[in-house]
């Protein structure tokens, strides 16, 4: 194999080119049974799984890991993603055997500590949000949305108002909002944002009619702005017989400072991997508990955690009378326990006082970036922002440089880019979320880098168009990948898709 | 506060750059509407030592697989995880990175996902796989939605022997009306009844293999029959290690396979996080939900990987997306793929056989207990027994003796008295002779 390594940057072939059918990194005893009881479907087949010894495996994955950017290595200003520091205490505690080696269907008498932990995190979430009930089982934020909307659907059915099928979603919402509502058979109507980056209340009112079921509103919204009219909107929704679902993805801006329950919402999911620091892990696992108002709580999914005088217990089957109005079940067991341990560890570490400091610092950092860049970039909206600041691409106009080019140039400067082209309501959007776990030095250096790049756009586009150049691989052809999908390795490199 | 780097001075300087007098000014538009800084009935911050103490005490209250004789399965299994798996998944670059939306600085994640997709396709015997789902049950629900889109039919037939909570999840989150399901939740270890249920409105038939009670099936004739009616066969697998001793679902004709991957690399974690595997045929490629990694090349012609086919997904398609799914189970799929790489073909098949052997041994011993009957004709690493007393009573009493003896069927199917005396018992490579002897001794005492 030709050596194309560059210093610390090693090329790493795929597993199927380096592994062997006769290699293994696990020593196992030889089974000795003679006859199996698998029955008709028994087969001693050739699967084709290459193996590696332990040293080879470690090297393979370590070399791969070095091709990734990470929050541990640098500021990760992805707006709407909340890439904050992941405390290692959380990792340690999630690995305690009393949590990690416990089976979800053990007799309840043998897992009281695990159930108590779920109760504790439930109490924290209810208190911090000011809501009446919480369900811990949703596996991720998008499943939390599904959970909230299923409860709303069930509530509408319980009122015998199945004609209510219309769900209003602002154009700045995450794609999961309309996707969730549509998936459940609701008719999605998109509501425009106004010139201040907030939901257009007049447009909203015009779309509320007898078929109105619910609105899904993100607050703070994806422009990084608080929906100032949220209470008026909530009242309007309730007067019209509908429900307010709040996308809580941006709860990091409010935690400890403002209770969503005071804003008139009926259901909201919380991304534990954002606000409560459970690691993003390269794309999951997430965890998306949902808090409910009094009017929706009876529709919560199974299982339900309850306590009698001495013991915790679970109501697991939705024909149990305690949860006979439940909309059903979201996952086979009790949700992302490993994430609950991490999140509770984080909440206790910060405490009530520290969590308020979290949202204050997150908002402070974002506004500091905004103020430090507003003369050279173009903020999309005036006034203070919340935990993230949104710029449009006006500052690039006439330079030939596009948002994507600017983002890729930032990579060469050692940063993961901000979120780009989202939200859709702003042209060439750049959404920056520094989070509270960045130091002032770190943020100052980021600001300095952005200023330098922004000035450089005046010197022509070439530098930006060819970026990045210092990465293990340069810009990839995404069109080719989609047009001619090769989704797995095949012997002799046969094209995989028809 | 140890996780917050800003000092008091920093904050003051920054506020002055912003031109705000104090931090509350940044929240003033909210304060006009509701009170900010509410008083919470929650404790203030704690030291690392205090937090660790508190959670350790909770952890210590639980009996777990390493301080008991452990025989529970039912969709979550105790297996040994090589030490290097947990080491690698805690590397910063894997643990603390985001979804690989910027491929130039995410090739590590993208390449292991491409390898994962290939491994999963090989295991299930299918053409293609996605980059993972939340868990096996939600993968099964997504498979059912997929079948509805592909066949443009609504009817869903769930086998009676599917894990009851999987059935509940499918019914709740597949977006299909209750009345379009056929699911009797009768007890049966046969799947023949499925042949009679298929009609012109059937989108898919869902079977689990090995099923909830542990029995294994050759699904070849079922798949042919289902497909001859224009419907799809969805095969659910909750114990991925079974694929080391069985014909693959692909070989048996499955159209979509939804599998729980927890057994490789992932601890039981009281139910999550896990990793769902979803595989299908090439022709259904554009109906598969979730993230998918594909191969491409960069501007210099160098091979690399990207997230692809995003035209299916919510962030592009919004209300027209194939699913609202926005994440995979990244780190759990990494643990899965590392464990499988360490095992390799030889190790995987041997591990599979060790599991079967362990269950065979336990079966021999258990059947010597008077009045205990085996229900299965076939099984992999778990089976169902009928006891002379109620399963729940038996399991609770066994737990008092430090034996986690199985799952009472009545815990999951609570409306059928006939099932009260049944329990599902699993035995894996981790169970020693001593564990099995404790099981038998304790069971003899409990049943005496």
Closest-CA residue of A relative to B252 is: A41
Measured between alpha carbons, how far is B190 from B159 in angstroms, rounded to an integer?
Answer: 9
Cβ-Cβ contacts under 8 Å, B243 against chain A:
47
- Please state, as a whole number, how many other Cβ atoms lie within 10 Å of the Cβ of residue B401: 16
Q: Do B379 and A22 touch (CB under 8 A)?
A: no
What pLDDT score does B189 carry? Answer: 67
Q: Do A183 and B332 touch (CB under 8 A)?
A: no
Residue B233 lies in a domain: yes
Pair B405, B280 in one domain:
no
**CA–CA min distance A405, chain B (Å):** 12
Closest-CA residue of B relative to A104 is: B270
Residue B7 lies in a domain: no
Closest-CA residue of A relative to B414 is: A317
Instruction: Quote the domain boundaries for residue B241.
Output: 83-339
Measured between alpha carbons, how far is B155 from B176 in angstroms, rounded to an integer?
Answer: 9
| Backbone torsions φ then ψ of A337, nearest 5 degrees | -50, -45
What pLDDT score does B70 carry? Answer: 98
Q: Do A471 and B95 touch (CB under 8 A)?
A: no
CATH classification (class only), A89-345? alpha beta
Cβ-Cβ contacts under 8 Å, A475 against chain B:
104, 298-299
CATH number at residue B398: 3.90.1150.10
Pair B370, B270 in one domain:
no
Cβ-Cβ contacts under 8 Å, B14 against chain A:
364-365, 367-368, 440
H-state helical runs in B66-207: 83-89, 92-95, 107-124, 136-151, 164-173, 193-197
Q: Which two tokens stand for residue A22?
A: 């006769």
Q: Do B344 and A437 touch (CB under 8 A)?
A: no
Q: Give one word for A361, left, alpha or beta, with left for phi > 0 and alpha for psi -120 to 50.
A: alpha
Q: DSSP secondary-structure letter at A133?
A: E
What pLDDT score does A497 carry? Answer: 41
| Backbone torsions φ then ψ of A243, nearest 5 degrees | -125, 150
Cβ-Cβ contacts under 8 Å, B121 against chain A:
488
What pLDDT score does B193 carry? Answer: 82
Question: Residues B337-368: pLDDT tens digits?
Answer: 999 999 999 999 999 999 999 999 999 999 99
Residue B102 lies in a domain: yes
Q: Give SS3 for B293.
A: strand
Asked which of B316, B339, B362 is the last residue of a domain, the reply is B339
In whole numbers, what is the pLDDT of chain B averaged over residues?
Answer: 95
CATH number at residue B145: 3.40.640.10
Size of interface A-B (CB pairs under 8 A): 710
Provide the percentage of residues in chain B whose pLDDT is more than 70: 99
Angle, alpha carbons A255-A261-A265 (nearest 5°): 115
Measured between alpha carbons, how far is A411 from A427 in angstroms, rounded to an integer?
Answer: 21
What pLDDT score does B317 carry? Answer: 79
Cβ-Cβ contacts under 8 Å, B300 against chain A:
474
Pair B360, B300 in one domain:
no
Measured between alpha carbons, how far is A159 from B332 in angstroms, rounded to an integer?
Answer: 41
Asked which of B307, B339, B371 is the last residue of a domain, the reply is B339
What pLDDT score does B410 carry? Answer: 95
Q: Do A91 and B107 touch (CB under 8 A)?
A: no
**CA–CA min distance A5, chain B (Å):** 13
Give, for all 498 residues of chain A, the pLDDT tens digit: 688 898 988 999 999 999 999 999 999 999 999 999 999 999 999 999 999 999 999 999 999 999 999 999 999 999 999 999 999 999 999 999 999 999 999 999 999 999 999 999 999 999 999 999 999 999 999 999 999 999 999 999 999 999 999 999 999 999 999 999 999 999 999 999 999 999 999 999 999 999 999 999 999 999 999 999 999 999 999 999 999 999 999 999 999 999 999 999 999 999 999 999 999 999 999 999 999 999 999 999 999 999 998 999 999 987 788 888 999 999 999 999 999 999 999 999 999 999 999 999 999 999 999 999 999 999 999 999 999 999 999 999 999 999 999 999 999 999 999 999 999 999 999 999 999 999 999 999 999 999 999 999 999 999 999 999 999 999 999 999 999 999 999 986 544 443
Closest-CA residue of A relative to B305 is: A476
Counting Cα atoms < 13 Å in the Cβ hemisphere of A228 gives 13
Q: To probe the interface with A, which of B34, B116, B237, B319 has the most A CB atoms within 10 Å? A: B319
- Please state, as a whole number, how many other Cβ atoms lie within 10 Å of the Cβ of residue B173: 28
ipTM over 0.95: yes
Cβ-Cβ contacts under 8 Å, A68 against chain B:
93-94, 97, 100, 105-109
Select from B408, B430, B339, B329 the least CA-distant residue to B164.
B408
Question: How many domains is chain B built from?
Answer: 2
**CA–CA min distance B185, chain A (Å):** 13
Q: Do A354 and B98 touch (CB under 8 A)?
A: no
* Residue B416 binned pLDDT confidence (cut-offs 50, 70, 90): confident
Q: Which of B268, B327, B344 sits opposite A284 (nearest CB)?
A: B327
Asked which of B278, B311, B339 is the last residue of a domain, the reply is B339
What pLDDT score does A498 carry? Answer: 38
Pair B170, B301 in one domain:
yes
Select from A364, A367, A141 the least CA-distant residue to A274.
A141
| Backbone torsions φ then ψ of A258, nearest 5 degrees | -140, 140
What pLDDT score does B321 carry? Answer: 79
Q: Do B415 and A319 touch (CB under 8 A)?
A: yes
What pLDDT score does A493 carry? Answer: 53
**CA–CA min distance A86, chain B (Å):** 7
Q: To probe the interface with B, which of A34, A253, A283, A406 has the most B CB atoms within 10 Å? A: A283
Pair B382, B323 in one domain:
no
**CA–CA min distance A198, chain B (Å):** 13
Q: To probe the interface with A, which of B270, B349, B391 has the most A CB atoms within 10 Å? A: B270
What pLDDT score does A495 carry? Answer: 43
Pair B94, B76 in one domain:
no
Q: DSSP secondary-structure letter at A417?
A: P
Pair B330, B371 in one domain:
no
Pair B173, B159 in one domain:
yes
Q: Which two tokens stand for residue B275?
A: 């990793």
Pair B439, B294 in one domain:
no
Measured between alpha carbons, how far is A228 from B373 in angstroms, rounded to an integer?
Answer: 67
Domain extent listing, chain A: 89-345
Contact at 8 Å (CB) between A284 and B332?
Answer: yes
Closest-CA residue of A relative to B121 is: A488
**CA–CA min distance B327, chain A (Å):** 6
Measured between alpha carbons, how far is B418 from B413 in angstroms, rounded to an integer?
Answer: 10
Cβ-Cβ contacts under 8 Å, B346 against chain A:
21-24, 51
Pair B255, B393 in one domain:
no
Pair B326, B375 in one domain:
no
Q: Do B245 and A57 touch (CB under 8 A)?
A: no
**CA–CA min distance B38, chain A (Å):** 7
Pair B177, B124 in one domain:
yes
Cβ-Cβ contacts under 8 Å, B316 against chain A:
175
Decide the pairing of beta strands B181-182 and B155-158.
parallel
């Amino acid at each position: 194999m030709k050596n194309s390594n560059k210093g610390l940057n090693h090329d790493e072939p795929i597993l199927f080119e380096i592994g062997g059918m006769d290699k293994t990194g696990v020593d196992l005893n030889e089974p000795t049974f003679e006859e199996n009881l698998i029955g008709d479907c028994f087969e001693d087949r050739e699967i084709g799984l290459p193996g590696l010894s332990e040293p080879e495996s470690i090297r393979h994955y370590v070399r791969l890991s070095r091709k990734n950017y990470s929050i541990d290595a640098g500021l990760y200003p992805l707006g709407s993603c909340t890439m904050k520091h992941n405390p290692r205490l959380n990792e340690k505690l999630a690995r305690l055997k009393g949590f990690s080696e416990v089976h979800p269907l053990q007799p309840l008498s043998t897992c009281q500590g695990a159930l108590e932990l779920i109760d504790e995190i439930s109490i924290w979430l209810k208190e911090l949000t000011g809501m009446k009930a919480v369900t811990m089982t949703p596996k991720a934020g998008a499943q939390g949305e599904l959970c909230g909307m299923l409860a709303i659907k069930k509530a509408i059915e319980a009122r015998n108002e199945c004609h209510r099928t219309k769900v209003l979603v602002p154009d700045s919402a995450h794609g999961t909002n309309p996707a969730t509502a549509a998936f459940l058979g609701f008719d999605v109507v998109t509501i425009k944002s106004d010139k201040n980056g907030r939901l257009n209340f007049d447009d909203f009112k015009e779309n509320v009619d007898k078929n109105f079921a619910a609105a899904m509103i993100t607050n703070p919204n994806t422009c990084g702005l608080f929906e100032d009219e949220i209470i008026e909107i909530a009242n309007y929704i309730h007067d019209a017989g509908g429900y307010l679902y709040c996308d809580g993805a941006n709860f990091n801006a409010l935690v400890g400072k403002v209770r969503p329950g005071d804003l008139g919402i009926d259901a909201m999911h919380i991304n534990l991997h954002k606000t409560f620091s459970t690691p993003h892990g390269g794309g999951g696992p997430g965890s998306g508990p949902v808090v409910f108002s009094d009017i929706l709580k009876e529709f919560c999914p199974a299982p339900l955690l309850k306590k009698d005088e001495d013991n915790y217990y679970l109501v697991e089957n939705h024909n149990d009378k305690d949860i006979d109005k439940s909309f059903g079940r979201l996952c086979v067991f009790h949700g992302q326990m490993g994430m609950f341990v991490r999140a509770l560890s984080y909440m206790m570490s910060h405490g009530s006082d520290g969590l308020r400091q979290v949202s204050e610092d997150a908002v402070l950092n974002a506004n500091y970036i905004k103020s430090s860049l507003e003369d050279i970039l173009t903020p999309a909206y005036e006034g203070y922002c919340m935990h993230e600041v949104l710029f449009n691409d006006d500052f690039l106009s006439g330079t030939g440089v596009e948002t994507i080019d600017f983002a890729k140039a930032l990579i060469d400067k050692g940063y993961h880019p901000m979120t780009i082209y989202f939200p859709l309501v702003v042209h060439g959007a750049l959404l920056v979320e520094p989070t509270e776990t960045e130091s002032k030095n770190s943020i100052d250096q980021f600001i300095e880098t952005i200023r330098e790049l922004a000035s450089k756009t005046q010197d022509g586009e070439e530098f930006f168009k060819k970026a990045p150049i210092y990465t293990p691989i340069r810009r990839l052809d995404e069109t080719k990948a989609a047009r001619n999908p090769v989704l797995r390795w095949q012997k002799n490199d046969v094209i995989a898709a028809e | 506060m140890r996780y917050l780097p800003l000092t008091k001075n920093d904050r003051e300087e920054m506020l002055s750059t912003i031109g705000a007098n104090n931090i509350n000014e940044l929240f003033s538009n909210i304060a006009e509407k509701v009170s900010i800084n509410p008083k919470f009935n929650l404790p203030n911050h704690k030291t690392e030592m205090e937090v660790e103490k508190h959670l350790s005490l909770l952890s210590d209250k639980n009996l777990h697989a390493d301080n008991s004789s452990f025989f529970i399965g039912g969709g979550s299994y105790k297996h040994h995880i090589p030490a290097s798996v947990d080491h690698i998944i805690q590397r910063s670059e894997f643990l603390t990175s985001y979804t690989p939306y910027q491929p130039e600085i995410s090739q590590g994640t993208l390449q292991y996902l491409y390898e994962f997709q290939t491994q999963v396709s090989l295991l299930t015997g299918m053409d293609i796989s996605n980059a993972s789902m939340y868990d096996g049950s939600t993968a099964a629900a997504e498979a059912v939605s997929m079948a509805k889109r592909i066949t443009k039919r609504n009817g869903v037939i769930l086998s009676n022997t599917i894990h009851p909570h999987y059935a509940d999840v499918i019914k709740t989150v597949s977006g299909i009306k209750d009345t379009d399901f056929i699911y009797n939740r009768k007890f049966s270890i046969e799947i023949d009844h499925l042949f009679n249920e298929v009609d012109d409105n059937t989108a898919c038939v869902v079977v689990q293999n090995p099923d909830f009670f542990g029995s294994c099936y050759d699904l070849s004739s079922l798949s042919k029959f289902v497909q001859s009616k224009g419907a799809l066969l969805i095969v659910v697998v909750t114990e991925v290690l079974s694929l080391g001793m069985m014909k693959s679902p692909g070989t048996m004709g499955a159209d979509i396979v939804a599998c729980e991957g927890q057994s490789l690399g992932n601890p039981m974690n009281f139910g999550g996080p896990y990793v769902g595997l979803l595989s299908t045929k090439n022709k259904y490629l554009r109906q598969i939900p979730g993230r998918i990694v594909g191969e491409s090349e960069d501007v210099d012609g160098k091979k690399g990987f990207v997230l692809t086919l995003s035209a299916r997904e919510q962030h592009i398609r919004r209300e027209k997306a194939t699913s609202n799914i926005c994440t995979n189970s990244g780190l759990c799929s990494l643990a899965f793929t590392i464990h499988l790489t360490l095992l390799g073909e030889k190790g995987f098949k041997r591990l599979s056989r060790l599991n079967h052997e362990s269950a065979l041994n336990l079966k021999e011993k258990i059947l010597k207990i008077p009045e205990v009957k085996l229900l299965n004709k076939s099984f992999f690493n778990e089976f169902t027994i009928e006891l002379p007393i109620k399963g729940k009573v038996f399991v609770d009493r066994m737990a008092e003796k430090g034996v986690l003896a199985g799952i009472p069927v009545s815990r999951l199917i609570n409306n059928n008295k006939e099932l009260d005396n049944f329990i599902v018992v699993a035995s894996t490579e981790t169970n020693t002779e001593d564990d099995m002897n404790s099981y038998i001794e304790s069971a003899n005492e409990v049943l005496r």
